[in-house]
Amino acid sequence: MNFQHLRVDTTHPSWITVWLDARDRTLNVLFEELFEELRMVFKVAHADPTQRPLILRSGKAKGFVVGADIKRIINIRSDAEIQAFMKFGQDVLHELEELPNLTIAWISGACLGGGLELALACRYRIVLDTPETRLGMPESKLGLTPGWGGTHRLVRTVGLQRGLEMLMTGAPISAKVALEYGLADGLWNANDEINPQIDYWVAKLHNASKRRIPRDLLVQWEQMSPERQELRRLGLAEDQQWQIPARQAIERAIELGIKESPATAERLEREGFFELLNRPKVQETLALFSAPRKN
**CA 90 to CA 216: how far, in whole Å?**
25
Run of H or E including 128: strand 124-128
Choosing from 33, 37, 98, 139, which is the catalytic residue? 139
Q: 267 in helix, strand or coil? A: helix
State the alpha helices, DSSP H only, in the chain.
32-47, 70-74, 79-97, 114-121, 150-158, 160-169, 175-181, 194-206, 217-223, 225-231, 244-259, 262-277, 280-290
Choosing from 117, 165, 251, 255, which is the catalytic residue? 117
Whether 139 is catalytic = yes
Whether 222 is catalytic = no
Instruction: Judge residue 49's burial from the number of C-beta atoms within 10 Å of its C-beta, 0-12 exposed, 13-18 middle, 19 or more buried.
Output: exposed
Residue 172 has φ and ψ, to the nearest 5°, of -80, 165
Residues that are catalytic: 117, 139
